[in-house]
Amino acid sequence: MLDSPVSTASDSPAAPPARPRRRWLWWWLGTLALLLVLALVALQQLDPWLRRTLERQVAEKSGGRYELRIGSLRTDLGRRSITLRRLWLRPAGWPKARPDSAKGPAPWALVTVDEIRAAGIGLGALLRGEVVSVDTLLVRTVRARVLRTPERPGAGGKPLHEQLPRRIPGIRLAHLLVNDVRVVSAGRGRGERTQLRHGHLAAQDVLISRGAAQDSSRLSYAAAVEMKIDGLEAQVPGHHLSLGAARFSSRGRQLRLDSLRVMPIDDRQLPGGAARITLWLPRLVLAGLRPPLLSRRILQADTLRLSAPTLRFAVPSQTPPPLHEALAPYLRRVLLGRLEVQRAQLRLTRLALDPRLSDISLSGRDIRVDAAAFRDPQRVLYARDWQGGSGIGEVTIDAPYYRVRWAALRLGTQARTLRITRGLISPVMSQGELSRRKGHQATHLTLRLPEVRVTGLDYWGLLHKAVRAQTVAAPHMRLNIIGNAHYPLGNALAKVSPENVRRLPFRLDVRRLQVEDLAIRFKFTGELAKRPGYFAITRLTGAATNLTNDPRRMSAATPAVIRATAYLQDRCRFSAVARMSLLDPQGRHQVEGTFGSAPFAILNTITVPTRSARFERGQLHGIRVQLQVNRQRVTGRMWARYSDLKVDMLSTSGGGRDKQTFGTKVLSKAANVLIIRDDNPRRRGAELKDAPVRSDRDLRYSVFTIWMQGVVSGLLHSIGVPGKLAEELSEL
């Protein structure tokens, strides 16, 4: 039997053991070692390469106009951070080489930064081309010197997110800190200079991307911004500005300015009629601010508070544009829930009125600054309502001769009210000096107004050349009038006349003017008199209605009506009614008046020194007078009831204690016998003798003068003075 070809294991000899193959491990170790060596070499060269790259890119992007120098650059891959120190950005070749203007706008900035540190950089996202996150970006100790500011800084530049590399969709900074920023800049004009002593900026969640740029909830890519400024100085043509401190918080929605001062300086580049501002503002607080709207050029806030500002404003010779037009290049609209001004002081110069106001407190509600609000008749100076007033105030009228002062002023534009207390209108010089300065007779007026109350006042109309009000009440006024005929009569026409109302450069419409307990005291020196005479009208109470030059309200059928009662010399009661069409170019109007009983002797204080005539005796029992007045004369009729009248003519020089000489006694006797009618009616039961009224009008005197002339003319006719003589005496 043949053996099987397959031998068993026990029969075959033992095989030698296989040797392990480890050559691949050495290859891997070698490769890793090589990579480590290369990585170490790369890391050693990474920082210099990054520094050179950054410096080269600045030169390329600026077209060779700027150069960047970095003192040191350190990266830390373990901490995912990069630190740059001693950075210097300057014009190329500075300071020896001059910039080539042919390459573009001349360089204008020098910047040094002590340190820039970025930590927590998302390297994986950077390699994958995703949004790169950075935990913190710190910029410390920035010094900037702006050599020449550009005409339009930033004009035409791309947004920051469009300047990122294309493969990076965005950068997200959790925290951005910029500490200790100091800036000095020189403007394009002579003397323009700005200096920031210290600034600080902190921003959270800054997302630089296209989507963030369109996010209305962000402010310049940031979810929140905090900014602090200490010490800001700016010099612009004509003015120097200084700011003690500024604080801004987007999360707190507040902007605060402390110690803001603006002072004018001598600058010959400004035209002579340019505005000049002197301002001291201790504090400004803008609360409830909506920062995201600023990107759309809309400023919206809940409250703006100005504390104790002092403003002196030299109004420019050319009328400045409305506020919304002045703000148009910067803001499309301003929305304020409330504006509050406390303890302000204001003076406006280069105006004839030269207004000065102290202790101003003002509150504006629902303020909207744009073209639509400017035209809205329901708003005044862009606000739905203004309330407040001032303490002591002053304006100049008939400059520089008269001043108007008041102790307090209160107003409400929506309530349409105005109240002025303890007002005073007074000349700044004596009557003689006033006449000498004007070169002619000048009436010296002093008016005290304990209170003036206005209701239904149209404040919007005041800003658009219209004075409209329902009532104006002025109780207990005191008016002192001093006149002196020793000075020549001027050629200027009187302003207080009915026909002048139609010539007013503004629309007038006062429904009712109320006067209560007005006292008027006259002091007048006649042309030939050596001493003044005195006369008084007291307890004058009355009202004027329909004082308007609006053709829709004023006509002969609906005239202005003045009704008043008063006392002559505080003894003779009289009442009068005047009806006048204020649009009649001839100034035609009618006056009816009545006088009560009184002795004629109450007139001696004015007739003795000015007319050298004295009522020795006589009793007035009553007068009724009707006057028709126009621009040429006054005419009418008078019914005067009196008895036992005797008039003495006095000497202008010499005479005894009674101011009479022999000649004046003879003249007085003749006048009383031949001319003066001692009783009217002549006897009991006889008919009352009426008398004509006629006197020519001098338009250089006010309308009140022609009314007085009419009364004097009628009275002289009544007592028997011949017509022509009575007319001439009434016109003296």
Mark whether 453 and 532 lie in a shared domain. Answer: no
Q: Is residue 185 part of a domain?
A: yes
Cα separation values, 231 from 192, 194, 246, 408, Å:
17, 11, 9, 37
For residues 129 and 297, give the distance between their C-alpha atoms in angstroms, rounded to a whole number: 34
The CA angle 522-525-528, to the nearest 5 degrees, is 155
pLDDT of residue 40: 52
Q: Is residue 33 part of a domain?
A: no
Q: Is residue 462 part of a domain?
A: yes
For residues 406 and 451, give the distance between their C-alpha atoms in angstroms, rounded to a whole number: 9
**For residue 9, is pLDDT > 50?**
no
Nearest C-alpha neighbor of 67 from the set 90, 101, 51:
90
Mark whether 380 and 423 lie in a shared domain. Answer: no
Mark whether 217 and 303 lie in a shared domain. Answer: no
What single string gives the DSSP state of each residue in 588-650? -EEEEEEE--EEGGGGHHHHHHHHSEEEEEEEEEEEEEEEEE-SSEEEEEEEEEEEEEEEEE-
pLDDT in tens, 554-603: 998 999 999 999 999 999 999 999 999 999 999 999 999 999 999 999 98
pLDDT of residue 156: 47
pLDDT of residue 159: 80
Contact 392, 409 (CB under 8 A): no
Sign of CA dihedral 53, 56, 60, 66: positive
pLDDT in tens, 685-696: 788 888 999 999
Name the pTM for this structure.
0.82
Dig out the tokens for 458 from the structure: 């149209």
**For residue 26, is pLDDT > 50?**
yes
The CA angle 176-181-185, to the nearest 5 degrees, is 130
Cα separation values, 89 from 68, 138, 145, 186, 621, Å:
5, 18, 10, 17, 102
Mark whether 620 and 546 lie in a shared domain. Answer: yes
Query: Structural domain of residue 334, as residue ranges?
Result: 270-278+287-397
pLDDT in tens, 447-483: 999 999 999 999 999 999 999 999 999 999 999 999 8
Mark whether 316 and 380 lie in a shared domain. Answer: yes
Mark whether 82 and 193 lie in a shared domain. Answer: yes
For residues 298 and 598, give the distance between their C-alpha atoms in angstroms, rounded to a whole number: 73
* Neighbour count for residue 76 (Cβ, 10 Å): 11
Q: Which helix (H) or strand (E) holds 328?
A: none
pLDDT in tens, 237-289: 788 899 999 999 998 999 999 999 999 887 666 677 788 899 999 999 999 99
CA 288 to chain centre: 24
**For residue 4, is pLDDT > 60?**
no
Nearest C-alpha neighbor of 534 from the set 542, 543, 525:
525
Contact 469, 457 (CB under 8 A): yes
Contact 147, 157 (CB under 8 A): no
For residues 550 and 538, give the distance between their C-alpha atoms in angstroms, rounded to a whole number: 33
Question: Which of 382, 397, 412 finishes a domain?
Answer: 397
Q: Is residue 34 part of a domain?
A: no
Contact 257, 231 (CB under 8 A): no
**For residue 723, is pLDDT > 80?**
no
pLDDT of residue 228: 95
Question: Which of 397, 429, 446 finishes a domain?
Answer: 397
Mark whether 643 and 683 lie in a shared domain. Answer: yes
Q: Is residue 72 part of a domain?
A: yes
Q: Is residue 542 part of a domain?
A: yes
Would strands 276-287 and 298-307 be described as parallel, antiparallel, or unpaired?
antiparallel
Tell me the mean pLDDT in the region 483-501.
84
Higher-pLDDT residue of 45, 288: 288
Mean pLDDT, the chain, as a whole number?
85
| 3 state SS for 283-315 | EEEEECCCHHHHHHCEEEEEEEEEECCEEEEEC
Mark whether 440 and 337 lie in a shared domain. Answer: no
Question: Which of 437, 470, 492 finishes a domain?
Answer: 492
pLDDT in tens, 331-371: 999 999 999 999 999 999 988 889 999 999 999 999 999 99
Angle subtended by helix axes 703-718 and 723-730, to nearest 10:
150
pLDDT in tens, 541-563: 999 999 999 999 999 899 999 99
Which of 412-421, 426-435, 540-549 is least confident?
A: 426-435
pLDDT of residue 12: 47
Mark whether 348 and 417 lie in a shared domain. Answer: no
Mark whether 562 and 708 lie in a shared domain. Answer: yes
Task: Kindly report the backbone phi and psi dihedral angles of residue 710, in degrees, each rounded to the nearest multiple of 5, phi listed first.
Answer: -65, -45
Higher-pLDDT residue of 397, 25: 397
Which of 54-68, 489-503, 661-675, 682-696 is least confident?
A: 661-675
Mark whether 383 and 418 lie in a shared domain. Answer: no
For residues 547 and 531, give the distance between their C-alpha atoms in angstroms, rounded to a whole number: 39
pLDDT in tens, 158-206: 788 887 777 788 888 899 999 999 999 876 656 678 899 999 999 999 8
- What is the tally of structural domains in the chain? 4
Residue type, 578: A
**For residue 154, is pLDDT > 90?**
no
For residues 264 and 241, give the distance between their C-alpha atoms in angstroms, rounded to a whole number: 9
**For residue 1, is pLDDT > 50?**
no
Mark whether 543 and 423 lie in a shared domain. Answer: no
- Could you tell me how many residues make up the chain? 732
Dig out the tokens for 674 from the structure: 């031949």
CB-based burial of residue 96 (10 Å sphere; 0-12 exposed, 13-18 middle, 19+ buried)?
A: exposed
Q: Is residue 260 part of a domain?
A: no
Nearest C-alpha neighbor of 473 from the set 429, 421, 398, 428:
421
Q: Is residue 644 part of a domain?
A: yes
